[in-house]
């Protein structure tokens, strides 16, 4: 069975602090895909990143970085020097290979509040 766990329900940090959002996944698929989405207070869901299971390279995009470790089934998201605009709910998701029915499994989300 597929499962995504985001154990941190809510996190508060002071502006300019670094923060890491945890994501742990479960799957028996050998090929799978991992995603992060941002849901700002306005409510829309914004795609941030996708990683393939066969590519464990970490990725950095500006203040955002992602650490993918297959050994621990984790795909953690770090925001460096947080800003108030980073306040949002962040969802981690697992995608499956084609022809396996439901394609996406979402975690329950982590609500991040950045305090000015």
Partner 1 sequence: NAGVTQTPKFRILKIGQSMTLQCTQDMNHNYMYWYRQDPGMGLKLIYYSVGAGITDKGEVPNGYNVSRSTTEDFPLRLLSAAPSQTSVYFCASSYLGRTEAFFGQGTRLTVV
Three-point CA angle 71, 18, 90, nearest 5°: 65
Nearest to 90 by CA among 33, 17, 20: 20
Minimum distance, C-beta of residue 54 to partner 1, in the bound complex (Å): 11
Minimum distance, C-beta of residue 27 to partner 1, in the bound complex (Å): 11
Residues 37, 21 contacting (CB under 8 angstroms): no
Minimum distance, C-beta of residue 87 to partner 1, in the bound complex (Å): 15
Residue number, 98 or 116, with CB nearest to partner 1: 98
- Taken as a whole, the chain contains a residue count of 116
- Which residues have a Cβ under 8 Å from the Cβ of 44 and sit 6 or more positions away? none
Residue number, 62 or 101, with CB nearest to partner 1: 101
Residue number, 62 or 98, with CB nearest to partner 1: 98
Minimum distance, C-beta of residue 51 to partner 1, in the bound complex (Å): 11
Residues 21, 6 contacting (CB under 8 angstroms): yes
**């996406």: which residue's tokens?**
104
Residue number, 16 or 70, with CB nearest to partner 1: 70
Residues lying near partner 1 in the complex (CB under 8 A): 32-33, 35, 43-45, 47, 50, 52, 91, 93, 95-98, 100-104, 106-109, 111
């Amino acid at each position: 069975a597929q499962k995504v766990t985001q154990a941190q329900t809510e996190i508060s940090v002071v502006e300019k602090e670094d923060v890491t959002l945890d994501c742990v996944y479960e799957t028996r698929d050998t090929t799978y895909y991992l995603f992060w989405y941002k849901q700002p207070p306005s409510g829309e869901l914004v795609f941030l990143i996708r990683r393939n299971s066969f590519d464990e390279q970490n990725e950095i995009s500006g203040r955002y970085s992602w650490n993918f470790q297959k050994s621990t089934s984790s795909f953690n998201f770090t925001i460096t020097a947080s800003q108030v605009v980073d306040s949002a709910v962040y969802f981690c998701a697992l995608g499956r290979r084609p022809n396996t029915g439901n394609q996406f499994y979402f975690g329950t989300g982590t609500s991040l509040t950045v305090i000015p």
